[in-house]
């Protein structure tokens, strides 16, 4: 092999022993390239071009609970709330607090699919709240009771002829 020939970097790494120059070991670790054979270098080169995958903790084979959105509706308003299935109802109410200026103690959330009132201490997954679920919001009135649930529908906005 003459010096003027172009040789792939992975082939050069396969020819050089890491014991000869410890700097090559550092470079190979930095690049994620194996010094044992040329195919490992080619695989590492392909890996470097791909974006890194985000690793999440947990056990192998355990289902990963992803972020989800729920729709919280009251009267003519709909709030899209991003949350995790492991979050409690109280944490969702705290997110709503920043949007509607009502403390969590004055909010009541009802899962419309089942008409169940969501409990503050339970997680969304425990209460069968899934991605894109519709949840009704009722606020506490002056007499310490919660208002009736009212969600405006599109036909409520159309004028009848």
How many domains does the chain divide into? Answer: 2
Residue recorded with tokens 């894109």: 132
Task: Summarize pLDDT for 88-132 with one digit per residue, the tens.
Answer: 999 999 999 999 999 999 999 999 999 999 999 999 999 999 999
Question: Does 27 map to a domain?
Answer: yes
Our CA angle for 106, 112, 116, nearest 5°, is 65
Question: Does 132 map to a domain?
Answer: yes
Question: Does 91 map to a domain?
Answer: yes
DSSP 50: S
Question: Are residues 34 and 2 in contact, defined by beta-carbon separation less than 8 angstroms?
Answer: no
Residue recorded with tokens 């014991």: 19
- The residue range of the domain holding 72 is 68-155
Cα separation of 138 and 141, whole Å?
9
Q: Give the pair of three-digit tokens for residue 54.
A: 């985000």
- For residues 83 and 147, membership in a common domain is answered with yes
CATH of the domain at 130: 3.10.20.90
pTM for this predicted structure = 0.58
Question: Does 60 map to a domain?
Answer: no
Task: Summarize pLDDT for 26-85 with one digit per residue, the tens.
Answer: 555 555 554 444 444 445 444 445 555 555 555 555 555 579 999 999 999 999 999 999
- For residues 45 and 75, membership in a common domain is answered with no
């Amino acid at each position: 092999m003459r010096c003027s020939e172009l040789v792939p970097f992975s082939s050069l790494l396969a020819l050089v022993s890491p014991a000869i120059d410890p700097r090559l070991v550092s470079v190979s670790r930095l690049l994620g390239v194996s010094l044992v054979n040329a195919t490992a270098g080619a695989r590492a080169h392909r890996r470097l071009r791909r974006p890194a995958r985000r690793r999440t903790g947990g056990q192998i084979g355990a289902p990963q609970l992803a972020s989800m959105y729920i729709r919280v509706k009251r009267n003519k308003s709909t709030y899209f709330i991003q949350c995790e299935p492991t979050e409690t109802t109280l944490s969702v109410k705290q997110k709503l607090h920043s949007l509607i200026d009502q403390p969590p103690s004055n909010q009541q959330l009802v899962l419309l699919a089942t008409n169940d009132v969501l409990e503050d201490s339970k997680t969304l997954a425990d209460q069968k709240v899934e991605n894109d679920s519709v949840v009704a919001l009722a606020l506490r009135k002056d007499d310490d009771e919660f208002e009736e649930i009212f969600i405006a529908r599109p036909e409520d906005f159309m004028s009848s002829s």
